[in-house]
Structure 1
Amino acid sequence: MSDKISTTALAKSRELDAKQLFTELKFAGYINRGDEGWILTEIGAKFGGEYVDHPKFGQFIVWPENLLIDSTATSGKTLSATQIGQRFSLHGKKINQLLQELGWITKTEDGWHVSESGLTVGGYQREDKESSNQFVVWHDSIVRNKRLRQSVVEFSGQDAEAHATDKSLSSFRQKFEAKHRSLDGHYVRSKGELVIDNWLYMNGIVHAYDRQLPIEQDVLSDFYLPTGKVYLQYWGTDAVTISDKEREAIKAVYEQHNFPLIEVFPEQIEQLDDVLPAKLKEFGIKAY
């Protein structure tokens, strides 16, 4: 943090009004406004923004003194789900489904609501004045978002591996081959994952395997349960032992982005009937 300064200090160094700088940062997609203040977006983090916790002033965002604010990549206009769909040749309803699957929006009786992680990729909550229905619009950088583009590719049935931007994931998949076939047709990497996958299937719980977290960083979760918007991580493998350091590093990513996580350890594999129902119930998921 020593080489980074607050937004207010940055504005002063550039002889700008602080309000003006906040507006410029939001226009460029570096920050977004949440219920409890300013939120650093993925784009802002790319350009060096980060959170700091101050004993007196609490949490706030700091920036490099030589911060580049790139406003050329945005029109300043927000996009609806329909407009995003036009960019990808998909119906707006399908875009909302993909955004929901990514955990960026949630559906309630009065419409769509942006989630905390949705705020970090440029989602803005809006209300229809006539009907009071809720909906979400997006900073136009959303059409370049790596995770959304990946979801569109996968949903459209294209070859996701051919469009992968990070070779490390491909290398990981080659090194740890998914060779165990579960009852629902998933190929998983370990016998422990096989037991979990079969347990979820037999209990009627919809799940995805080897799910990329909806963040810029390339991190795979063992399972994603869309009904409860929760991830499940198995801390075991047939090949190598996961160290405490590795486990804590992965858990830190979940905590940083406030992603709910269910953990299963090797010694619990034989007791899934006793372990998982209570954990799932916390997220509104009922096992048969």
Structure 2
Amino acid sequence: MSNANTSKSATLSSSNLLLSTTKISEQLGLSRNKINPILAELGLLDKVPNGWLATRLGLSFGAVQKHEEKNNKPYVLWPEEILNNQIFVAELRKTSQHEDVKPTSLESNASLGFREKFQAGEYRTTDGHWVRSKAELAIDNWLYMADIVHAYERKLPVEEEVFCDFYIPSGKVYIEYWGYEKEEYLSRKREKQRIYQKYEFN
């Protein structure tokens, strides 16, 4: 398992224009109530009782932490470049039920063959996920029975197209199960480990 609270991502270029959640929602044509949850899902924000705090990862994306003068309520401003950030845009597409972003690098090369060979759908978990192996079936069922909210094959919040086996939102924990010893799989494993180390997801 790896905790993403100390992770890094490519820093956005500096911008003189900082956007509030309202401004971002206006430019994207979405409800402003959707923006912060999306940013939180990506690990860029943390929800606190009276507002939102930028995470370390969010700060690396150019987030600027602010507080309202009257009540000290925390909020975050974002550089204009966030509107063109691939990670943010991809998550917006999924949330807005647009066409999914197609894999372009790691998942479409080293690991795509594995994903094609072991198509999700062979094993159905207690909570309705379709997983690729009996081991993943056991992991998913254990998480469900332990009342741990989780996602299966969630994309990492990085520019590369990399998917973790399981993701636990509370704590931002990523789980990988390494279950095969063939060279093709080991090559995929090494590449994913490199990505985890690059962004300090370990």
TM-score (norm 2): 0.81
Greater strand percent: which structure? 1
1:184 corresponds to: 127
**Residues 199-258 of structure 1 deviation map (CA, whole Å, 9 limit, x = unaligned):** 111221111111111111221111111122111111114987743x75454334334323
1:152 matched to 2:129: no
2:193 corresponds to: 251
In structure 2, distance between residues paired with 1:146 and 1:174: 24
SS in 1 for 2:165: strand
Any stretches of 5+ residues in structure 2 without a counterpart? 1-7
Q: Within 5 Å, give how 1:1-288 maps onto structure 2.
A: 41-43=10-12, 76-160=16-100, 163-164=101-102, 166=104, 169=107, 172=112, 173-179=115-121, 180-237=123-180, 242-243=185-186, 247=189, 249-259=191-201
Q: Which has the higher contact order (CA 8 A, sep 6+)?
A: 2
Structure with bigger gyration radius: 1
SS in 2 for 1:211: coil
TM-score (norm 1): 0.58
Q: Which amino acid aligns with 2:104?
A: D
2:4 corresponds to: none
Superposition RMSD in Å: 2.7
Question: Given the superposition, is the C-alpha separation of residues 168 and 229 from structure 1 closer, same or farther in structure 2, using an over 3 Å criterion?
Answer: closer
**Residues 3-31 of structure 1 deviation map (CA, whole Å, 9 limit, x = unaligned):** xxxxxxxxxxxxxxxxxxxxxxxxxxxxx
**Contact 2:106-2:160 within 8 A present in 1 as well:** no
Any stretches of 5+ residues in structure 1 without a counterpart? 1-38, 45-70, 262-288
**Contact 1:123-1:136 within 8 A present in 2 as well:** yes
Deviation at 1:167, TM superposition (A): 6.2
**Contact 2:10-2:61 within 8 A present in 1 as well:** yes
